[in-house]
Amino acid sequence: MPVEVYMFEEAAGLNLSKSELGGKGYGLVEMTKLGLPVPPGIVITTNMCNEFFKRGGKLWPELEAAILAKVSELERHTGKRFGDETNPLLVSVRSGAPVSMPGMMDTVLNLGINDRVTAVLARKTGDERFAYDTYRRFIQLFGKIVIGVPGEKFDAVLEKQKQAKGAKSDMDVDAAGWREVAKQYNELIKREAGKPVPQDPKEQLLMAVGAVFGSWWNKRAIEYRKIYKVPDSLGTAVNIVTMVYGNLDDKSGTGVAFTRDPSSGARELYGEFLMRAQGEDVVAGIRTPEQVERLNKELPNAYKELVSTAKKLERHFRDMQDIEFTVEAGKLYMLQTRNGKRTANAAVKIAIDMVAEGLITKEEAVLRVEPEQLQRLLYKQIDPKAKAEPMLKGLAAAPGAAAGRIVFTNEEAKAASERHEKVILVRPETTPEDIVGIASSNGVLTSRGGMTSHAAVVTRGMGKPCIVGAESAKISVEHGTLVVGDKTIKKGDIITIDGGSGLVFEGEMPLVEPRMSADVTELLSWADGFRRLGVRANADTPEMARKARENGASGIGLDRTERMFNAPDRLAIIQKMILAETREERESYLAKLKPMQKSDFKTIFREMEGLPVTIRLLDVPLHEFLPKLEEILPEVTEMRIRGADKAKLADRERILRRVMELKEYNPMMGQRGVRLSLMYPEIYMMQAGAIFEAAAELKKEERIDVEPQIMISQVAEAEEMGRARAIVEAQAAEVAKSTGVKLKYEVGSMIETPRAALTAPMIAKYADFFSFGTNDLTQATFAFSRDDVESKFMPFYLDNKLLQNNPFETLDQSGVGRLVAMAASEGKDANPKLHVGICGEHGGDPRSIEFFNSTRIDYVSCSPYRVPVARLSAAQAELRKRHKESSTV
């Protein structure tokens, strides 16, 4: 590999990429190109970093030679020389990865200084204090970063010195003080590492370059990359930049700024500035920095140049910039520029404004806002400014934040809600019987269960915050306590839960209200113009349907009918149906449910007038509607031992017996969905009948048109779909006959078993549409039971990089995605009229949407609260795809 070490001007001529130059290097090179005041410097590419590690973490002769050759060039360029007695060259050595990793890697300032150079500096500037301050800063950074002496030890030395001199702050330390500190630092290093900081600037430089490369694999950086999913393979570039001195004199200072307000997005320079300061002083919090406008008073020319530079940078980079600068003796130097991080609000506003300013196109504006940022605008949040330590962490099951008094029972929750009190329902786990409690509370916290547990699914549907599987909490319903470690929270105490992060806080945290501003609405309308994928919502209730429509869904992609069974007045009927011993008896209970289901469908159909509504017929196994074995078994055991009333015992024993009969070893792969309903066709008959009657009556009586798309779940074999379709069609014919209304409807298949995906062409012959149930499909493809793995081994897998992403959040492309793409394509080949959607939770995940956009899928369906995110993501995916295609052509 040839060595890649360039002067900034040289790199500018070569048009090197950000992935080669790193973020910082790229900014410096681009600014050099623009003729902005950048101190002269050298960049060593990221390729050299990777080569460095390939060679066992060592610099090699060719690279060393190249670096030193460029240093000579730098010396010629600046007229300064390393170790020179009259005009010594000092440089900073800065890391810079292709992706911003703020504060994660190391930088050495003032390199090139040594005992003699310090003296020269003192003499030359006439400022001995400045010279020794500069020296001690270098020794400290070099000692810590390159040699590896712990930072605290330097702090201790400095503290002691300040005490001895009675100095309150660094500003009070005089020249002698810094000289003493420098001396003691050097002694410290010698003591700790056995050798002092080298005096030879070239030796310093090569050591520092190695250390900066090495910092790519320091613990902080590794952690950061894990969290932000930055590939380990990127590597860091190294920038060697001629030092300028913000601490030189009274006309010097240093600052950071954003070209627009990163919080509101307002179009004004926004930042902080410190006179007589260098490097980290601004952000270190030792001295309080001033607003950047202040510079206008202190150094108006420099400020004017800064403002015009900011404008130039925005015009060049066509985005808001985050810059670092230093003023040395009144002259402005630009040390860094990069695209600035911003809040969700600011992101949207800046994107919209820049279109208006003619800086970017609408396409670019749509690409500028992170979908997850947008999401944050749609839920209540804990105020980002509030700081507190969480007391507990669980699985982030349903987003949003809520604060309230904790309650442990449905009765307490209901009573509190009737008093208009905010409460959080806390339970080991929830069952269908807890629906009242959930409905009455502002949020739910459970110690058991996974992302598809009852609590998680129900709250997501309701748009309420929820945390599940907080396994380190001991919840006693009996005692009304929530115990975490040695902390006990009692009934009536207030907690705050953040369902977006899974964090629980003691007491009431300030919350920020969501808002969907005019800017967001505009941005999304642009997005809609660019996307290929349709966006529907998963909605089971009229409220959710309304929310879906508000948020721009073009239909319902998944209406789970069993939620309708879980309503308190219906559960009792369902249970009786399950205990029934003959088809006739079963049908009598189904007949009672039918008008209820019909009325449910009507309310949803009214909300969705004119749009398709995809209804999934009964999916879950029957035992989900009965008590759990671990509840009913001890209950009956106890009744038996205590000699309970015979009739009551017999009653509970009957339920226990049925629970035992229906018990399944692996209910997720048991008798559910189509497998259940082909054996008990009366269930599908009731449901399909209720749907068609509801639609027919609405059409007749209210002139409301809807298109029911009836969906069969758990299909693994085409024949299942054929039989189920026949049952549904028979009901449609019957309703058409009895009402005289002919309805438009479709019958489709969930594709959620691997076999359904593998035999898609056969299933497509019986289906008008496919809808991928990517949750179940992921489960079966990995053979990972979601409820088990998320609490048991998924954290271990993610921490240890056994998996790069949680496949239940972001679609696994190489396994599950391969099935999805294949089945969508083969299904459409077999049945050209087939339309194809996805309705798993991946439907609201931006990276998954990007993948779906690359397949023959027609639409995604997600939570109503994720619809805006999906709209934006779908647009971005399509824009990126077009871009990629046009750049390959």
Catalytic residues: 454, 839
Site membership for its own copies, residue 483 (CB under 8 A): no
d(CA 86, CA 652): 97
Part of the chain binding its own copies (CB under 8 A), chosen from 92-100, 261-269, 406-414, 793-801: 793-801
Site membership for its own copies, residue 231 (CB under 8 A): no
Q: Are 774 and 837 in contact (CB under 8 A)?
A: no
Q: Binding pattern to its own copies, positions 641-660, x when CB under 8 A?
A: xx-----------------x
Site membership for its own copies, residue 752 (CB under 8 A): yes
Q: Find the shortest distance in angstroms from Cβ 751 to its own copies.
A: 11
Q: Which lies closer to its own copies via its Cβ, residue 665 or residue 701?
A: 665
Scan residues 331-360 and list those touching its own copies (CB under 8 A).
none
Q: Find the shortest distance in angstroms from Cβ 660 to its own copies.
A: 8
Site membership for its own copies, residue 816 (CB under 8 A): yes
Q: Which lies closer to its own copies via its Cβ, residue 628 or residue 737?
A: 628
Part of the chain binding its own copies (CB under 8 A), chosen from 164-172, 267-275, 575-583, 633-641: 633-641
Site membership for its own copies, residue 474 (CB under 8 A): no
Task: Give the full edge-to-edge strand order of the sheet including 270-275.
Answer: 290-291, 270-275, 253-258, 321-328, 331-339
Q: What are phi and psi of 230, to 5 degrees?
A: -90, 125
CB atoms within 10 A of CB 412: 21
Part of the chain binding its own copies (CB under 8 A), chosen from 31-39, 541-549, 755-763, 866-874: 755-763
Helices 629-642 and 646-662 meet at what angle, rounded to 10? 150
Site membership for its own copies, residue 564 (CB under 8 A): no
Q: Are 348 and 523 in contact (CB under 8 A)?
A: yes
Tokens of 803: 């998996």
Cα angle at 887 between 884 and 889, to 5 degrees?
Answer: 110
Site membership for its own copies, residue 232 (CB under 8 A): no
Q: Which lies closer to its own copies via its Cβ, residue 209 or residue 789?
A: 789
How many residues are recorded in the chain?
A: 889
Site membership for its own copies, residue 815 (CB under 8 A): yes
Size of the residue set binding its own copies (CB under 8 A):
58
Q: Are 68 and 3 in contact (CB under 8 A)?
A: no
Q: Find the shortest distance in angstroms from Cβ 666 to its own copies.
A: 4
Part of the chain binding its own copies (CB under 8 A), chosen from 232-240, 486-494, 785-793, 867-875: 785-793
Contact with its own copies (CB under 8 A): which of 439, 494, 596, 803? 803
Q: Find the shortest distance in angstroms from Cβ 452 to its own copies.
A: 9
Q: Which lies closer to its own copies via its Cβ, residue 107 or residue 753?
A: 753
Contact with its own copies (CB under 8 A): which of 125, 785, 806, 825? 785
Q: Find the shortest distance in angstroms from Cβ 664 to its own copies.
A: 4
Q: Are 494 and 403 in contact (CB under 8 A)?
A: yes
Site membership for its own copies, residue 404 (CB under 8 A): no
Site membership for its own copies, residue 630 (CB under 8 A): yes
Site membership for its own copies, residue 779 (CB under 8 A): yes
Site membership for its own copies, residue 758 (CB under 8 A): yes
CB atoms within 10 A of CB 643: 8
Site membership for its own copies, residue 789 (CB under 8 A): yes
Q: Which lies closer to its own copies via its Cβ, residue 793 or residue 882?
A: 793
Site membership for its own copies, residue 671 (CB under 8 A): yes
Site membership for its own copies, residue 637 (CB under 8 A): yes
Burial class (CB in 10 A: 0-12, 13-18, 19+), 634: exposed
Q: Are 107 and 141 in contact (CB under 8 A)?
A: yes
d(CA 331, CA 525): 46
Query: What is the maximum alpha-carbon separation in the chain?
Result: 106
Q: Are 96 and 239 in contact (CB under 8 A)?
A: yes
Q: Which lies closer to its own copies via its Cβ, residue 233 or residue 288?
A: 233
Which of these, 275, 369, 377, 357, lies nearest to 314 by C-alpha position? 357
Q: Which lies closer to its own copies via its Cβ, residue 127 or residue 752?
A: 752
Q: Find the shortest distance in angstroms from Cβ 432 to its own copies.
A: 16
Q: Find the shortest distance in angstroms from Cβ 782 to its own copies.
A: 5
Part of the chain binding its own copies (CB under 8 A), chosen from 117-125, 166-174, 228-236, 661-669: 661-669
Q: Binding pattern to its own copies, positions 600-629, x when CB under 8 A?
A: -----------------------------x
Q: How many angstroms separate the first and last alpha carbons of the chain? A: 30
Q: Find the shortest distance in angstroms from Cβ 217 to its own copies.
A: 20
DSSP 3-state assignment of 124? helix
Three-class HEC string of 834-882: CEEEECCHHHHCHHHHHHHHCCCCCEEEECHHHHHHHHHHHHHHHHHHH
Pairing between strand 401-407 and 423-427?
A: parallel
Three-class HEC string of 322-349: EEEEEEECCEEEEEEEEECCCCHHHHHH
Chain position carrying tokens 């967001």:
520
Q: Find the shortest distance in angstroms from Cβ 563 to its own copies.
A: 20
Question: In angstroms, what CA-CA distances link 817 with 633, 712, 760?
Answer: 42, 21, 14
Q: Find the shortest distance in angstroms from Cβ 426 to its own copies.
A: 19
Q: Find the shortest distance in angstroms from Cβ 456 to its own copies.
A: 13
Site membership for its own copies, residue 759 (CB under 8 A): yes
Q: Are 314 and 338 in contact (CB under 8 A)?
A: no
Backbone dihedral region for residue 485 (phi beyond 0: left; psi -120 to 50: alpha; all else: beta): left
Part of the chain binding its own copies (CB under 8 A), chosen from 36-44, 336-344, 732-740, 799-807: 799-807
Site membership for its own copies, residue 667 (CB under 8 A): yes
| CA atoms within 13 Å, Cβ hemisphere of 824 | 24
Q: Find the shortest distance in angstroms from Cβ 56 to its own copies.
A: 21
CA 302 distance to own-chain centroid: 40
Chain position carrying tokens 């590939």:
231
d(CA 493, CA 495): 7
Chain position carrying tokens 């009744």:
639
Site membership for its own copies, residue 741 (CB under 8 A): no
Contact with its own copies (CB under 8 A): which of 326, 781, 831, 863? 781
Contact with its own copies (CB under 8 A): which of 20, 328, 697, 787? 787
Question: In angstroms, what CA-CA distances link 338 with 216, 256, 362, 372, 482?
Answer: 20, 11, 22, 21, 46
Q: Find the shortest distance in angstroms from Cβ 800 to its own copies.
A: 8
Q: Which lies closer to its own copies via its Cβ, residue 550 or residue 719?
A: 719
Part of the chain binding its own copies (CB under 8 A), chosen from 170-178, 205-213, 505-513, 776-784: 776-784
For residue 537, the surrounding DSSP H or E stretch is: strand 534-538
d(CA 578, CA 172): 82
Q: Are 186 and 197 in contact (CB under 8 A)?
A: yes
Q: Binding pattern to its own copies, positions 688-727, x when CB under 8 A?
A: --------------------------x-xx-xx--x----
Chain position carrying tokens 């409905």:
439
Site membership for its own copies, residue 322 (CB under 8 A): no
Site membership for its own copies, residue 818 (CB under 8 A): yes
Q: What are phi and psi of 476, to 5 degrees?
A: -115, 110
Helices 175-193 and 151-165 meet at what angle, rounded to 10? 150
Residues interacting with its own copies, by CB under 8 A?
629-630, 633-634, 637-638, 641-642, 660, 664-671, 675-676, 678-679, 714, 716-717, 719-720, 723, 752-755, 758-759, 762, 776, 779-785, 787-789, 792-793, 796, 800-803, 812, 814-816, 818-819
